[in-house]
Amino acid sequence: MPVVALKEYVGVARDRVENFNGKQLVYASWDHHLLFAAPFLLCLAPLATFAELLETALKPLLQADPDAAAIDWQEVQWLKGNQPWVPNFEASLVANGISHKDQLRFKTPGLNTICAVS
């Protein structure tokens, strides 16, 4: 059924970076691991290091997967915006070029206890 607006609709984005009190949203997903049906949505300080992202945000969320303890984070294959990417673990999110609402994906070849067919 078509909808007819009675007046001009003006949408207001509620997820602008200005609305997160100095933090930003970052999506993170583990490719081919279907225990997690969708990317995680993390709210992080832009000056947090990439290592802090892993230790305080991502690792605790991944603990339910049997492969989580075996991840060698130095060997993980990363994608940022669907492009291969190598993070600097000691640099901030900003220094790594990670901005509001960016998506990070990672692959762990050889770890596939709960896995989609590659």
pLDDT of residue 66: 87
Question: How many Å apart are CA 68 and CA 43, to the nearest integer?
Answer: 21
Distance CA(4)–CA(22), nearest Å, equals 39
Name the nearest CA neighbour of 24 among 41, 40, 46: 46
CA distance linking residue 1 with residue 91, whole number of Å: 51
pLDDT of residue 10: 83
Confidence (pLDDT) at 62:
94
pTM: 0.84
Tell me which residue of 6, 26, 11, 13 sits closest to 78, measured CA to CA. Answer: 26
Write down the pLDDT at residue 117. 54
> The dihedral of CA 82, 42, 58, 37: what is its sign?
negative
Which residues does residue 28 pair with via DSSP β-bridges, in sequence order? 40, 104
- For the chain, residues with pLDDT lower than 50 are none
For residue 100, the model assigns a pLDDT of 96
Domain 17-107 is in which class? alpha beta
Instruction: Give the burial class of 28: count Cβ atoms within 10 A of its Cβ; 0-12 exposed, 13-18 middle, 19 or more buried.
Output: buried
